[in-house]
Amino acid sequence: MKNWDSLDENGVCSSEKDCEDAYKVCQNLDIPFHQVSYVKEYWHEVFTNLLKEYEKGRTPNPDILCNKHIKFNHFYNYAINGLGADAMATGHYARTSQEDEDVFQQSHVAPPPKHVFRDRFEIRNPVRLYQGADRFKDQTFFLSQISQDALRRTVFPLSGLTKDYVKKIAAEAGFQHVLKKKESMGICFIGERKFEDFILEYLEPKPGNFVSIEDGKIMGEHQGWFTLTLGQRARIGGQRDAWFVVDKDITTGEVFVGPTTNHPALFRDTVRTDRFHWITEDPPTELIQTKMMECHFRFIHQMPLIPQGGAKLVKFAYRALASPCGGPGCLQADFGHQLNGVSWLTGYAGGCYKEHDLAGHVSEDA
Protein backbone atom coordinates (compact mmCIF):
# COMPACT_ATOMS: atom_id res chain seq x y z
CA MET A 1 0.00 0.00 0.00
CA LYS A 2 1.47 3.32 -1.11
CA ASN A 3 0.16 6.55 0.44
CA TRP A 4 2.75 9.18 -0.42
CA ASP A 5 4.28 10.00 -3.80
CA SER A 6 8.00 9.78 -3.08
CA LEU A 7 8.79 11.60 -6.35
CA ASP A 8 7.25 14.74 -4.87
CA GLU A 9 9.65 14.70 -1.95
CA ASN A 10 12.83 13.49 -3.64
CA GLY A 11 12.47 9.96 -2.34
CA VAL A 12 12.15 10.84 1.34
CA CYS A 13 9.74 7.92 1.90
CA SER A 14 11.43 4.77 0.64
CA SER A 15 8.18 3.32 -0.72
CA GLU A 16 9.87 1.54 -3.62
CA LYS A 17 12.32 -0.21 -1.28
CA ASP A 18 9.48 -1.12 1.09
CA CYS A 19 7.61 -2.62 -1.85
CA GLU A 20 10.63 -4.72 -2.84
CA ASP A 21 11.03 -5.99 0.72
CA ALA A 22 7.35 -6.95 0.94
CA TYR A 23 7.59 -8.76 -2.40
CA LYS A 24 10.58 -10.79 -1.18
CA VAL A 25 8.68 -11.83 1.95
CA CYS A 26 5.68 -12.93 -0.14
CA GLN A 27 7.94 -14.97 -2.42
CA ASN A 28 9.55 -16.65 0.57
CA LEU A 29 6.15 -17.51 2.08
CA ASP A 30 4.67 -18.45 -1.31
CA ILE A 31 1.69 -16.10 -1.01
CA PRO A 32 0.30 -13.63 -3.60
CA PHE A 33 1.62 -10.07 -3.66
CA HIS A 34 -0.76 -7.18 -4.40
CA GLN A 35 0.11 -3.49 -4.62
CA VAL A 36 -2.37 -0.61 -4.37
CA SER A 37 -1.91 3.15 -4.34
CA TYR A 38 -3.90 5.59 -2.21
CA VAL A 39 -1.77 8.66 -2.87
CA LYS A 40 -4.76 10.73 -4.00
CA GLU A 41 -6.96 9.58 -1.10
CA TYR A 42 -4.19 10.24 1.42
CA TRP A 43 -3.67 13.75 0.08
CA HIS A 44 -7.37 14.69 0.25
CA GLU A 45 -8.43 12.83 3.39
CA VAL A 46 -5.33 12.99 5.58
CA PHE A 47 -2.72 15.51 4.46
CA THR A 48 -5.13 18.32 3.49
CA ASN A 49 -6.85 17.89 6.86
CA LEU A 50 -3.42 18.00 8.50
CA LEU A 51 -2.63 21.39 6.94
CA LYS A 52 -6.04 22.84 7.88
CA GLU A 53 -5.61 21.78 11.49
CA TYR A 54 -2.12 23.29 11.70
CA GLU A 55 -3.47 26.58 10.31
CA LYS A 56 -6.03 26.59 13.14
CA GLY A 57 -3.24 26.24 15.69
CA ARG A 58 -3.92 22.58 16.50
CA THR A 59 -1.64 19.54 16.34
CA PRO A 60 -3.31 16.63 14.50
CA ASN A 61 -1.97 13.08 14.43
CA PRO A 62 -1.56 11.85 10.82
CA ASP A 63 -1.10 8.21 11.89
CA ILE A 64 -4.52 8.15 13.54
CA LEU A 65 -6.11 9.80 10.49
CA CYS A 66 -4.32 7.42 8.11
CA ASN A 67 -5.59 4.36 9.96
CA LYS A 68 -9.12 5.76 10.06
CA HIS A 69 -9.43 6.91 6.45
CA ILE A 70 -6.91 4.85 4.48
CA LYS A 71 -5.78 1.56 6.01
CA PHE A 72 -9.02 0.62 7.80
CA ASN A 73 -11.31 2.13 5.19
CA HIS A 74 -10.02 2.15 1.61
CA PHE A 75 -7.54 -0.70 2.00
CA TYR A 76 -9.95 -2.66 4.19
CA ASN A 77 -12.68 -2.43 1.52
CA TYR A 78 -10.18 -3.45 -1.16
CA ALA A 79 -9.14 -6.54 0.83
CA ILE A 80 -12.67 -7.64 1.78
CA ASN A 81 -14.69 -6.60 -1.27
CA GLY A 82 -11.98 -6.51 -3.95
CA LEU A 83 -9.92 -9.58 -3.08
CA GLY A 84 -12.70 -11.46 -1.30
CA ALA A 85 -10.68 -11.89 1.90
CA ASP A 86 -12.37 -13.10 5.08
CA ALA A 87 -10.34 -10.67 7.18
CA MET A 88 -7.47 -8.21 7.11
CA ALA A 89 -4.26 -8.85 9.08
CA THR A 90 -1.95 -6.01 10.11
CA GLY A 91 1.33 -5.80 12.00
CA HIS A 92 0.05 -3.55 14.78
CA TYR A 93 0.89 -4.44 18.37
CA ALA A 94 -2.70 -4.73 19.55
CA ARG A 95 -5.44 -7.31 19.90
CA THR A 96 -9.23 -7.52 20.02
CA SER A 97 -11.78 -9.14 22.31
CA GLN A 98 -12.38 -11.74 19.58
CA GLU A 99 -9.08 -13.39 20.45
CA ASP A 100 -10.89 -14.70 23.53
CA GLU A 101 -14.02 -15.96 21.74
CA ASP A 102 -14.60 -19.72 21.87
CA VAL A 103 -14.79 -19.97 18.09
CA PHE A 104 -11.25 -18.63 17.81
CA GLN A 105 -9.86 -20.89 20.55
CA GLN A 106 -11.00 -24.23 19.11
CA SER A 107 -8.20 -26.76 19.03
CA HIS A 108 -6.97 -28.12 15.70
CA VAL A 109 -8.60 -31.42 14.77
CA ALA A 110 -8.58 -33.48 11.60
CA PRO A 111 -10.49 -32.58 9.57
CA PRO A 112 -10.82 -29.01 10.94
CA PRO A 113 -14.35 -27.63 11.41
CA LYS A 114 -15.61 -25.85 8.33
CA HIS A 115 -15.84 -22.07 8.42
CA VAL A 116 -14.44 -21.79 11.97
CA PHE A 117 -12.33 -18.79 11.01
CA ARG A 118 -15.08 -17.14 8.96
CA ASP A 119 -17.76 -17.79 11.60
CA ARG A 120 -15.65 -15.84 14.05
CA PHE A 121 -16.67 -12.60 12.34
CA GLU A 122 -20.38 -13.39 12.56
CA ILE A 123 -20.41 -13.14 16.36
CA ARG A 124 -22.41 -9.99 16.98
CA ASN A 125 -21.01 -9.06 20.38
CA PRO A 126 -19.32 -5.64 20.25
CA VAL A 127 -15.62 -6.08 19.46
CA ARG A 128 -13.26 -4.24 21.77
CA LEU A 129 -9.75 -3.04 21.10
CA TYR A 130 -7.26 -4.43 23.62
CA GLN A 131 -3.61 -3.77 24.30
CA GLY A 132 -1.26 -6.48 23.09
CA ALA A 133 1.43 -8.33 25.04
CA ASP A 134 4.15 -5.79 24.24
CA ARG A 135 2.98 -2.77 26.24
CA PHE A 136 6.02 -0.70 25.23
CA LYS A 137 5.16 -1.06 21.53
CA ASP A 138 1.41 -0.75 22.15
CA GLN A 139 -0.24 0.86 19.10
CA THR A 140 -3.87 1.00 20.20
CA PHE A 141 -3.48 4.79 20.46
CA PHE A 142 -3.17 4.96 16.67
CA LEU A 143 -6.12 2.59 16.13
CA SER A 144 -8.51 4.50 18.36
CA GLN A 145 -10.68 5.91 15.55
CA ILE A 146 -11.23 2.87 13.35
CA SER A 147 -14.76 1.59 12.81
CA GLN A 148 -16.44 -1.32 14.56
CA ASP A 149 -16.98 -3.11 11.22
CA ALA A 150 -13.29 -2.89 10.31
CA LEU A 151 -12.16 -3.96 13.78
CA ARG A 152 -14.49 -6.97 13.66
CA ARG A 153 -12.77 -8.33 10.56
CA THR A 154 -9.20 -7.45 11.49
CA VAL A 155 -6.61 -9.86 12.88
CA PHE A 156 -3.49 -8.78 14.78
CA PRO A 157 -1.01 -11.70 14.52
CA LEU A 158 1.48 -9.88 16.78
CA SER A 159 -1.05 -9.48 19.60
CA GLY A 160 0.64 -11.99 21.91
CA LEU A 161 4.24 -11.30 20.89
CA THR A 162 6.93 -8.81 21.85
CA LYS A 163 9.01 -6.92 19.30
CA ASP A 164 12.16 -8.82 20.31
CA TYR A 165 10.44 -12.17 19.81
CA VAL A 166 9.12 -11.08 16.40
CA LYS A 167 12.68 -10.22 15.36
CA LYS A 168 13.80 -13.67 16.54
CA ILE A 169 11.12 -15.33 14.38
CA ALA A 170 12.11 -13.19 11.39
CA ALA A 171 15.78 -14.12 11.81
CA GLU A 172 14.97 -17.83 11.99
CA ALA A 173 12.82 -17.49 8.86
CA GLY A 174 15.69 -15.89 6.95
CA PHE A 175 14.23 -12.39 6.60
CA GLN A 176 17.55 -10.64 7.15
CA HIS A 177 16.71 -7.87 4.67
CA VAL A 178 13.75 -6.87 6.87
CA LEU A 179 15.71 -7.01 10.12
CA LYS A 180 18.25 -4.54 8.73
CA LYS A 181 15.58 -1.90 8.10
CA LYS A 182 15.49 1.08 10.44
CA GLU A 183 12.47 1.19 12.68
CA SER A 184 9.86 3.65 11.43
CA MET A 185 9.81 6.71 13.68
CA GLY A 186 7.95 9.98 13.29
CA ILE A 187 6.02 11.03 10.19
CA CYS A 188 7.15 9.11 7.10
CA PHE A 189 6.71 11.86 4.52
CA ILE A 190 8.81 14.33 6.52
CA GLY A 191 11.80 12.00 6.63
CA GLU A 192 15.05 13.46 7.93
CA ARG A 193 14.01 17.09 7.49
CA LYS A 194 13.05 19.47 10.28
CA PHE A 195 9.30 19.75 10.69
CA GLU A 196 9.39 23.54 10.35
CA ASP A 197 11.20 23.34 7.00
CA PHE A 198 8.72 20.74 5.74
CA ILE A 199 5.50 22.50 6.76
CA LEU A 200 6.69 25.83 5.31
CA GLU A 201 6.79 24.15 1.89
CA TYR A 202 2.98 23.93 2.04
CA LEU A 203 1.91 26.86 4.25
CA GLU A 204 2.89 30.49 3.81
CA PRO A 205 5.21 31.78 6.57
CA LYS A 206 3.40 33.97 9.10
CA PRO A 207 6.13 35.49 11.28
CA GLY A 208 5.26 36.49 14.81
CA ASN A 209 6.75 37.03 18.25
CA PHE A 210 7.61 34.71 21.10
CA VAL A 211 6.14 36.43 24.18
CA SER A 212 6.98 35.61 27.80
CA ILE A 213 3.88 34.42 29.66
CA GLU A 214 5.35 35.91 32.84
CA ASP A 215 5.93 39.57 31.94
CA GLY A 216 4.85 40.02 28.30
CA LYS A 217 8.42 40.58 27.13
CA ILE A 218 9.17 39.78 23.48
CA MET A 219 11.72 36.94 23.52
CA GLY A 220 12.28 36.44 19.79
CA GLU A 221 10.56 35.66 16.48
CA HIS A 222 9.07 32.55 14.83
CA GLN A 223 8.01 31.74 11.25
CA GLY A 224 4.44 30.73 12.05
CA TRP A 225 2.41 29.50 15.02
CA PHE A 226 1.55 26.36 13.01
CA THR A 227 5.17 25.21 13.20
CA LEU A 228 4.91 24.94 17.00
CA THR A 229 3.07 22.58 19.32
CA LEU A 230 1.86 23.33 22.83
CA GLY A 231 4.39 21.95 25.28
CA GLN A 232 7.34 21.73 22.91
CA ARG A 233 10.61 23.52 23.50
CA ALA A 234 10.76 26.85 21.68
CA ARG A 235 14.02 27.40 19.83
CA ILE A 236 14.65 31.04 20.69
CA GLY A 237 17.97 32.48 19.63
CA GLY A 238 20.12 34.08 22.30
CA GLN A 239 18.34 32.36 25.21
CA ARG A 240 20.51 30.28 27.51
CA ASP A 241 17.61 28.69 29.40
CA ALA A 242 14.93 26.47 27.86
CA TRP A 243 11.52 28.00 27.12
CA PHE A 244 8.38 26.03 26.26
CA VAL A 245 5.25 26.87 24.26
CA VAL A 246 2.30 27.35 26.62
CA ASP A 247 -0.25 29.10 24.38
CA LYS A 248 -0.83 30.47 20.88
CA ASP A 249 -2.91 33.40 19.61
CA ILE A 250 -3.57 32.78 15.91
CA THR A 251 -5.23 36.19 15.48
CA THR A 252 -2.09 38.15 16.45
CA GLY A 253 0.47 35.45 15.64
CA GLU A 254 1.92 35.62 19.15
CA VAL A 255 3.26 32.43 20.71
CA PHE A 256 3.45 32.55 24.50
CA VAL A 257 6.34 30.76 26.19
CA GLY A 258 7.27 29.92 29.75
CA PRO A 259 10.48 28.72 31.45
CA THR A 260 10.94 25.13 32.74
CA THR A 261 8.83 22.05 32.04
CA ASN A 262 6.71 22.44 35.18
CA HIS A 263 5.58 26.02 34.69
CA PRO A 264 1.95 26.46 35.90
CA ALA A 265 0.90 27.74 32.46
CA LEU A 266 1.69 24.32 30.97
CA PHE A 267 -0.97 22.62 33.09
CA ARG A 268 -4.68 22.33 32.31
CA ASP A 269 -7.62 21.11 34.35
CA THR A 270 -10.27 21.40 31.64
CA VAL A 271 -10.54 20.47 27.98
CA ARG A 272 -13.59 20.55 25.73
CA THR A 273 -14.41 18.45 22.72
CA ASP A 274 -17.54 18.38 20.59
CA ARG A 275 -17.40 14.77 19.39
CA PHE A 276 -15.98 11.43 20.49
CA HIS A 277 -15.45 8.30 18.47
CA TRP A 278 -16.71 5.26 20.39
CA ILE A 279 -15.38 1.97 19.06
CA THR A 280 -17.80 -0.41 20.79
CA GLU A 281 -20.93 1.61 21.49
CA ASP A 282 -22.11 5.15 20.92
CA PRO A 283 -21.99 6.34 23.65
CA PRO A 284 -21.56 4.01 26.68
CA THR A 285 -24.72 3.31 28.68
CA GLU A 286 -23.20 4.77 31.84
CA LEU A 287 -22.69 8.12 30.15
CA ILE A 288 -26.23 8.20 28.76
CA GLN A 289 -27.82 7.43 32.12
CA THR A 290 -25.72 9.60 34.43
CA LYS A 291 -24.22 12.18 32.03
CA MET A 292 -20.92 11.31 33.70
CA MET A 293 -18.48 8.41 33.65
CA GLU A 294 -15.06 7.53 34.98
CA CYS A 295 -12.35 6.43 32.61
CA HIS A 296 -8.61 6.15 32.11
CA PHE A 297 -6.48 8.76 30.45
CA ARG A 298 -3.22 9.20 28.56
CA PHE A 299 -1.77 11.79 26.19
CA ILE A 300 1.25 9.92 24.76
CA HIS A 301 0.87 6.58 23.00
CA GLN A 302 3.54 4.83 25.11
CA MET A 303 2.20 6.24 28.36
CA PRO A 304 0.21 3.66 30.38
CA LEU A 305 -3.46 4.35 30.96
CA ILE A 306 -3.73 6.00 34.36
CA PRO A 307 -5.38 3.39 36.65
CA GLN A 308 -8.82 3.85 38.14
CA GLY A 309 -8.76 5.44 41.56
CA GLY A 310 -5.55 7.34 40.83
CA ALA A 311 -5.07 11.02 41.44
CA LYS A 312 -5.56 11.74 37.75
CA LEU A 313 -8.83 9.88 37.26
CA VAL A 314 -10.77 11.51 34.44
CA LYS A 315 -14.46 12.29 34.74
CA PHE A 316 -16.33 13.73 31.82
CA ALA A 317 -19.76 14.59 30.53
CA TYR A 318 -20.75 15.00 26.90
CA ARG A 319 -18.78 18.18 26.30
CA ALA A 320 -16.39 18.55 29.23
CA LEU A 321 -13.38 16.74 30.61
CA ALA A 322 -11.52 17.34 33.84
CA SER A 323 -8.06 16.08 34.72
CA PRO A 324 -4.79 17.45 36.10
CA CYS A 325 -3.44 17.20 32.57
CA GLY A 326 -0.16 18.99 32.21
CA GLY A 327 3.38 19.04 30.99
CA PRO A 328 4.95 19.33 27.56
CA GLY A 329 3.22 17.49 24.75
CA CYS A 330 -0.18 17.21 26.44
CA LEU A 331 -1.96 16.94 23.12
CA GLN A 332 -3.80 13.68 22.51
CA ALA A 333 -5.81 11.41 24.75
CA ASP A 334 -7.21 7.90 24.75
CA PHE A 335 -10.15 7.08 26.98
CA GLY A 336 -10.62 3.53 28.16
CA HIS A 337 -11.58 1.19 30.94
CA GLN A 338 -9.74 -1.63 32.66
CA LEU A 339 -11.55 -4.92 33.15
CA ASN A 340 -9.96 -7.95 34.81
CA GLY A 341 -6.54 -6.43 34.34
CA VAL A 342 -7.05 -5.86 30.59
CA SER A 343 -7.18 -2.32 29.25
CA TRP A 344 -9.59 -1.66 26.41
CA LEU A 345 -10.29 1.52 24.53
CA THR A 346 -13.72 3.01 24.04
CA GLY A 347 -13.08 6.47 22.70
CA TYR A 348 -10.54 9.01 21.59
CA ALA A 349 -10.14 12.77 21.81
CA GLY A 350 -7.29 14.91 20.58
CA GLY A 351 -6.06 18.05 22.25
CA CYS A 352 -5.30 19.45 25.65
CA TYR A 353 -5.83 23.17 25.30
CA LYS A 354 -7.35 26.03 27.24
CA GLU A 355 -11.11 26.40 26.97
CA HIS A 356 -10.93 29.60 24.90
CA ASP A 357 -8.67 27.85 22.38
CA LEU A 358 -11.23 25.15 21.75
CA ALA A 359 -14.63 26.76 21.97
CA GLY A 360 -16.07 23.27 22.18
CA HIS A 361 -13.91 21.83 19.43
CA VAL A 362 -10.67 19.84 19.60
CA SER A 363 -10.23 18.61 16.06
CA GLU A 364 -12.52 17.74 13.21
CA ASP A 365 -11.95 14.04 13.81
CA ALA A 366 -11.93 13.93 17.60
- Known catalytic residues? 66, 188
Please check whether residue 12 is in contact with residue 192, taking contact to mean a CB–CB distance below 8 angstroms. Answer: yes
Q: Which residues of 314-334 are buried (b: 16+ CB within 10 A; e: fewer)?
A: bebeeeebebebbbbbbbbbb
Instruction: State the alpha helices, DSSP H only, in the chain.
Output: 15-29, 39-42, 48-55, 62-66, 76-77, 116-119, 148-152, 163-172, 176-179, 195-199, 285-290, 355-358
Spell out the residues 6+ positions from residue 123 whose beta carbon is closer than 8 angstroms to its own.
98, 101, 103
Q: Is 264 exposed, middle or buried (0-12, 13-18, 19+ CB in 10 A)?
A: exposed
CA 188 to chain centre: 14
* Exposure of 124 in the CB half-sphere (CA atoms within 13 A): 0
Three-state DSSP class for residue 15: helix
> Which one-letter DSSP state was computed for residue 240?
S
DSSP string, 332-359: EEEEEEEETTEEEEEEEEE----HHHHS
Pairing of β 254-259 and β 243-249? antiparallel
Among residues 117, 73, 125, the alpha carbon closest in space to that of 97 is found at: 125
Reference 105, options 31, 170, 160; nearest CA is 160
CB 220 within 8 A of CB 208: no
